[in-house]
Amino acid sequence: MDYKYLAEKAIEAKAISHPPYSNFHVGAALLTEDEKIYLGGNIETPSYSLTICAERTAVFKAYSEGERKFKAVAIASDSPDYCPPCGSCRQVMLDLCGDIDVVMVNHKDELKILKLSQLLPFAFGDKDLK
């Protein structure tokens, strides 16, 4: 799949976010190995700290539908610049999705693509439990 298309889906996913406190909309589009796309938006709660990011929303939606193999995640936000995933999302995505491509899109529709392992080097993981 064309990552430009996946990035468009992430931009679309901002519309399903619910950030009444920060007012910062983030959208994520998670691509499975068999080319299905799961969308996620950030969802904020009045207790603030129980907020969930767009990326983890998409990952948990996909997992709860039985998906286990992934290729890439695209992320879009209200910032004019690229929106890098937070530390918690990096760990969760590496744990549950593996070393996928992370496609960030800015307001000029330019893409920045990095491997998740570049964003979270020397990470703790399943291998360390053995």
Beta-bridge partners for 130: none
Distances (CA, A) of 53 to 2, 38, 78: 24, 14, 14
> Residue 43: CA atoms inside 13 Å, Cβ hemisphere, count?
11
Determine, following the binding rule CB under 6 A, whether residue 11 of this chain makes contact with ligand THU.
no
Nearest distance from C-beta of residue 33 to ligand THU, angstroms: 23
67 noted as active-site residue: no
Using CB under 6 A, pick the residue from 24, 60, 61, 99 that binds ligand THU. 24
Q: Which of 12, 35, 44, 55 is catalytic?
A: 55
Determine, following the binding rule CB under 6 A, whether residue 86 of this chain makes contact with ligand THU.
yes
Name the residue nearer to ligand THU (CB basis): 32 or 51: 51
Q: Is 39 exposed, middle or buried (0-12, 13-18, 19+ CB in 10 A)?
A: buried
Determine, following the binding rule CB under 6 A, whether residue 14 of this chain makes contact with ligand THU.
no
Closest CA relative to residue 19, chosen from 7, 30, 27: 27
Residue ranges that bind ligand THU, judged by CB under 6 A = 19, 22, 24, 26, 42, 44, 51, 53-55, 75, 83, 85-86, 89
